[in-house]
Structure 1
Amino acid sequence: MSTRAPSLIAPAGTDPAPALTRATQPRYRASNAAVPYAFLAPAILLFVAFLAAPIFYSLYLSFRAAKVKGLGLGSGSRTEQWVGMENYVRSVADPEFLASVGRVALYGLIVVPTMLGLALLFALLLDSGRTRVGGFSRTAIFLPYAVPAVVASLLWGFLYLPRVSPVVDVLGLVGVSAPNVMSSQLIMFAVANIAVWGGTGFNMIVLYTALKSIPSDIYEAARLDGASDVQIALRIKIPIVVPSMIMTFVFSLIATLQVFAEPMTLRPLSNTISTTWTPLMKVYRDAFVRNDVYSAAATSVLIALATFVLSFGFLKLVGSRAFNQEK
């Protein structure tokens, strides 16, 4: 009687290693689940190192202060102590901080409506089929946004100075005296003009993109009903792009509360801009001129809280109504 060795070839139609597959399946699932986190790890590390950690460290510093013993000489003469809310109380009660908040509020009342109004106007003109504007016009309106704020401030500062401004020379040829926009009465409008010039293009692109997403059938139906271009803009286009306008308003509000580059760049050109002209300029002065990082940290936390409250408060107030229109 002959004996045969067991066949090493599995019958056709059967899995050659089902037990191996079942055994390694949990390990494969664990490795596959870790793949997205491996891709996210660099971004998470950068976020923690350069954004989250500085925020928490600033919050930590805002509750502390340096105490000096004697003349402040020696290794143990300067110590750091916990002071609680003392830095916040001093920041809120500081007249310079309150004055800077008032200037930023006035600055926002000038910049935000003007910038968003011009952005909406340009977007409607670009979207109008009867207006002869093309790619060059879009580029010309958007181009100032690509100019850094410091460079834009230097360019406009050159135009503002009466002694070197070509605008003053041209107006002088026709017998018109140019106003001194760097004076204390007009410096607010000088700074606001730079922000409007640089930010209108970005907001225009956002609104123009929202207008291009509107189906053309709506316009055709409105024209069949006898609606003019102005009526289409007021009754169809503007209501539909309200969510985009809210988004641009929030972005503009955040940028207004954080204004720093424009007045800081113009300050050496005029004596009408103080070192605490805006809240962020006060933070810079306290941290790098007076070497009081604790007070600067408290003021920066207050600015961050104000930005958060105003932004999310505005979205909570009008966002639900506006975004429900899309449903």
Structure 2
Amino acid sequence: MRKRTGAPYAFLAPALLLFAAFLGAPIVYAGYLSLRRVKISGLGLGPGSRVEQWAGLSNYTRSLSDAEFLPSVGRVAAYGLLVVPVMLGLALLMALLLDAGRTRVGGFARTAIFLPYAVPAVIASLLWGFLYLPRVSPIADVLEGAGLSSPDFLSSAHVLYAVANIAVWGGTGFNMIVLYTALRTIPRELIEAARIDGASDVQIALRVKVPVILPSLVMTFVFSLIATLQVFAEPMVLRPLTNTISATWTPLMKVYRDAFVRNDLYAAAATSVVIAAATFALSFGFLKLVGARAFRQED
């Protein structure tokens, strides 16, 4: 019997140390802060006037009962219902078209579709923000030149779609590359056998390719779900351009406001823990629901 060596642990040690330092420790510290509060004596001036003490679950009670928290959750839910199906649907369609050889400029097409993902979310939001503003938007000029009225993309009726559009524009390319890479691993003999049996391109795509890459679809869905729950940059950048995006438009924006505007780190930490728990529960629940079918696992 071979003796165990420490080589595997030595290779894992740097990654584990970085994870513990930059992810594990902040999570633990946020959990600690969420159970604390500051008691202020007098005017809060001088030594001993501010004392940190145990708060129990009171910060969580304040966070969940905040009148602005549930509306922000509802907006994120509506945002996710828009972004995730559209983004994954477009990514799958483009990946299937590229894999089927329907485009003669495959390399250029892959690069062009993926390129928006390489643009940072802040820059993309700024670019789209100027495209949304009627006074500077070329879209408004084109519509007015065609005799059509330009909609106010940042109005209360359209702002959700405006934010969702930025996410779809930026995320479709990444998911397309993941799905296209999975499609390229399918044995060509399997596709040729289906073609010999008389299957059309659409039938091959729906009955052969999509079932085979189902694990990759599940993975991209989970990543998209996590990104949806953490949406922050897009509405935060667009906020100065319109009064329809509040400081608590999403849960993470509420965390930012509590921590850096109101200087209430304890309430912000509690909300962060709630968001993290919801992200874990939804991701784990979805994987548990579809894992047996997608990854051929048995309970």
TM-score category, normalised to shorter length: over 0.9
Relative to the length of structure 2, the TM-score reads 0.95
Of 126-135 and 228-237, the range deviating more from structure 2: 126-135
Query: In structure 2, which of residues 62, 65, 75 is the aligned counterpart of residue 90 of structure 1?
Result: 62
Q: CA offsets per residue over residues 65-110 of structure 1, 9 Å max, x none? A: 1111122121111111101000001111111011100000000000
- Describe the shift of the 1:274–1:221 C-alpha distance in structure 2 as closer, same or farther (beyond 3 A): same
Structure 2 gaps, min length 5: none
- Percent identity between matched residues is 76
5 Å-filtered alignment, 1:164-313, equals 164-313=136-285
Note if contact 1:100-1:277 (Cα within 8 Å) is conserved in structure 2.
yes
Note if contact 1:67-1:78 (Cα within 8 Å) is conserved in structure 2.
yes
Whole-Å separation in 1 of the counterparts to 2:194 and 2:65:
57
Aligned length: 295
Aligned to 1:137: 109
Kindly state the Cα deviation for residue 37 of structure 1 after the two structures are TM-superposed.
4.1
Relative to the length of structure 1, the TM-score reads 0.87
Whole-Å separation in 1 of the counterparts to 2:185 and 2:21:
39
Aligned to 1:67: 39
Kindly state the Cα deviation for residue 261 of structure 1 after the two structures are TM-superposed.
0.4
Kindly state the Cα deviation for residue 309 of structure 1 after the two structures are TM-superposed.
0.3
Whole-Å separation in 2 of the counterparts to 1:241 and 1:323:
10
Instruction: Give the letter aligned to residue 100 of structure 1.
Output: S
Whole-Å separation in 1 of the counterparts to 2:205 and 2:143:
38
Query: In structure 1, which of residues 133, 152, 161 is the aligned counterpart of residue 124 of structure 2?
Result: 152
Kindly state the Cα deviation for residue 293 of structure 1 after the two structures are TM-superposed.
0.2
Kindly state the Cα deviation for residue 46 of structure 1 after the two structures are TM-superposed.
2.4
Instruction: Give the letter aligned to residue 207 of structure 2.
Output: R
Residue 129 of structure 2 aligns to a residue in which SS? helix
Note if contact 1:126-1:133 (Cα within 8 Å) is conserved in structure 2.
no
Kindly state the Cα deviation for residue 186 of structure 1 after the two structures are TM-superposed.
0.3
Whole-Å separation in 1 of the counterparts to 2:229 and 2:56:
26
Whole-Å separation in 1 of the counterparts to 2:160 and 2:272:
23
Structure 1 gaps, min length 5: 1-28
Aligned to 1:19: none
